[in-house]
Amino acid sequence: MTAPKVVEAEPRPDIDFHDLARFPVECREWFRWLRAHEPMSFHPGPPVQPENTGFWSVVLHEDLARVHRDWEHFSSEGADGPGSETGGDAIRDLNRAEGVGSMMILTDPPRQTAYRKLVNRGFTPRSIATLEPRLRDVVRAAIDAVADRGSCDFVQDLAAAVPLQAIGELLGVPVEERPALIEWTNQIVSPAGDTPHEIHASLIDAKQRLIAYCATLAATKRASPAADLASRLLLGEVTMSDGATHRLSDTEFELFCFLLIFGGNETTRSAISAGVIAFTEHPEQWDRLRADRALVPTAVEEILRYTSPVASMRRTVTGPVRLRGVDLDHGDRVVMWYPAANRDERVFGPTAEAFDVGRRPGDHQAFGAGGPHFCLGAWLARLELRLILEELLDRLPDLHVAGDPVWARSNLILGPIHLPVEFTART
């Protein structure tokens, strides 16, 4: 690999993608600098993996699109495509026990296509639209529960409920078992501990607990299948490209279920919570929305662009390929940063860093940038965001941040885990 030319015009910030306390608050500035001066940059691997020699960082919109679409060079499995022992979508190398080669997001076509066919139908705009009345009730109930208090933790008391109930409903998770899911997904995004090794151990512990829960769910659904996604996954058959079919193994089911629960919870919750921070910092945008409800759909897209709650996805290079002047080769790691691409001035113009609920819906990459893994839950997330916005506008129109957010210690999910807010409820 050859290093690209670095244009020094302003001092390089002290960029450390592994400093999980600094990442959420400083990354926007790092990305701005990298876009301007070093659109391909090399960074060391995570401290918990000394053998991991580091990764290339991709920050431009055009480059994210290229990497997402060219899955043959930029694999979601690993350097050897199908059969890779390590690789995956995280900055840290994942291994087969963590799902490389068998969790949909950690596979490449045609295996990924076969998995995706099992669930695609449940996530089309039409299927998702049928959830609207039930989800609106969930939002209203969450607001009812806090309305008289005048203040609450927006993330835990309001934002968490909607994605949790939505994915719980789709999968067929019994209502009383849903709260535990939040506890584990929280711990995966923001593990406990002070040292990198303690943090890593906490993350693995939460992952294992969530996987163990998925095994229990499989047993329940096998005993009495219902009209839900979990039962469909257990009964459905995956057809591979050679025509061979098989039912999901226990492990495949558990990983699939894990992916849906994790993907469905932390993401939308972080988008709306970071969106509330954006509205508090730009009150004129909230006033605009209150005055003109027709702006809600563009506001949803702007929240997604501006907050970009999924911070990163990684790919592994399968063979020689050139990206923005850098010659990459087999085994090189490439990490794409969505919050960086979503404020790329080349695409969003001189106002790329501004929050503007009337912005013409452009080509934001919060859900990915094309290619086989484009977010399965995009329509569900949009519905959830719209319903929460509409109900907040109706019921808690003066809601605003009333204290410091606590950010997830994560370079995967960019969002607060606690957010004090105040409001006056309208009856």
Nearest residue (CB) to ligand HEM, 86 versus 265: 265
414 binds ligand HEM, rule: CB under 6 A:
no
**Residue 59 to residue 268: CA distance in whole angstroms:** 22
375 binds ligand HEM, rule: CB under 6 A:
yes
Scan residues 218-247 and list those touching ligand HEM (CB under 6 A). Answer: none
Of 229, 297, 281, 283, the residue nearest 260 (C-alpha): 229
55-58 and 333-337 strand pairing: parallel
35 binds ligand HEM, rule: CB under 6 A:
no
**CB within 8 A of 353, min separation 6: which ones?**
28, 32, 343
List b or e across 217-244, with b for residues whose CB sees 16 or more CB atoms inside 10 angstroms: bbebbeeeeeebbbbbbbeeebeeeeee
341 binds ligand HEM, rule: CB under 6 A:
no
Total Cβ atoms within 10 A of residue 83: 10
316 binds ligand HEM, rule: CB under 6 A:
no
Residue from 154, 213, 367, 407 binding ligand HEM (CB under 6 A)? 367
**Residue 189 to residue 179: CA distance in whole angstroms:** 16
CB 292 within 8 A of CB 420: no
Nearest residue (CB) to ligand HEM, 163 versus 168: 163
Nearest residue (CB) to ligand HEM, 321 versus 412: 412
**Residue 380 to residue 378: CA distance in whole angstroms:** 5
CB of 213 to ligand HEM, least distance (A): 16
Owner of token pair 């163990």 = 212
**Residue 93 to residue 86: CA distance in whole angstroms:** 6
Residue from 377, 405, 415, 416 binding ligand HEM (CB under 6 A)? 377
Nearest residue (CB) to ligand HEM, 188 versus 259: 259
Residue from 60, 160, 313, 388 binding ligand HEM (CB under 6 A)? 313
Nearest residue (CB) to ligand HEM, 167 versus 206: 167
Residue from 380, 401, 412, 413 binding ligand HEM (CB under 6 A)? 380
Nearest residue (CB) to ligand HEM, 199 versus 310: 310
94-95 and 326-328 strand pairing: unpaired
Point out the residue whose Cβ comes nearest to ligand HEM. Answer: 377
CB of 5 to ligand HEM, least distance (A): 29
- Count residues near ligand HEM (CB under 6 A): 30
Residue from 373, 414, 421, 423 binding ligand HEM (CB under 6 A)? 373
- Residue 419 sits at φ, ψ, to 5 deg, of -150, 100
Q: What's the chain's length in residues?
A: 427
Nearest residue (CB) to ligand HEM, 257 versus 399: 257
Residue from 40, 65, 94, 104 binding ligand HEM (CB under 6 A)? 104
Instruction: Determine whether 148 is exposed, middle or buried from the number of CB atoms within 10 Å of its CB (0-12, 13-18, 19+).
Output: exposed
**CB within 8 A of 31, min separation 6: which ones?**
59, 337, 339, 340, 343
75 binds ligand HEM, rule: CB under 6 A:
no
- Give SS3 for 43: strand
276 binds ligand HEM, rule: CB under 6 A:
no
CB of 166 to ligand HEM, least distance (A): 7
Scan residues 139-198 and list those touching ligand HEM (CB under 6 A). Answer: 163, 167
Residue from 259, 274, 352, 392 binding ligand HEM (CB under 6 A)? 259
CB of 17 to ligand HEM, least distance (A): 17
CB of 205 to ligand HEM, least distance (A): 23
Total Cβ atoms within 10 A of residue 190: 23
267 binds ligand HEM, rule: CB under 6 A:
yes
Q: How far apart are the first and last CA of the chain?
A: 62
- Residue 109 sits at φ, ψ, to 5 deg, of -60, 150
Residue from 381, 387, 388, 408 binding ligand HEM (CB under 6 A)? 381
Strand partners, 326: 323
Q: What residue ranges bind ligand HEM (CB under 6 A)?
A: 68, 104-105, 112, 116, 163, 167, 259-260, 263-264, 267-268, 271, 304, 309-310, 313, 338, 366-368, 371, 373-377, 380-381
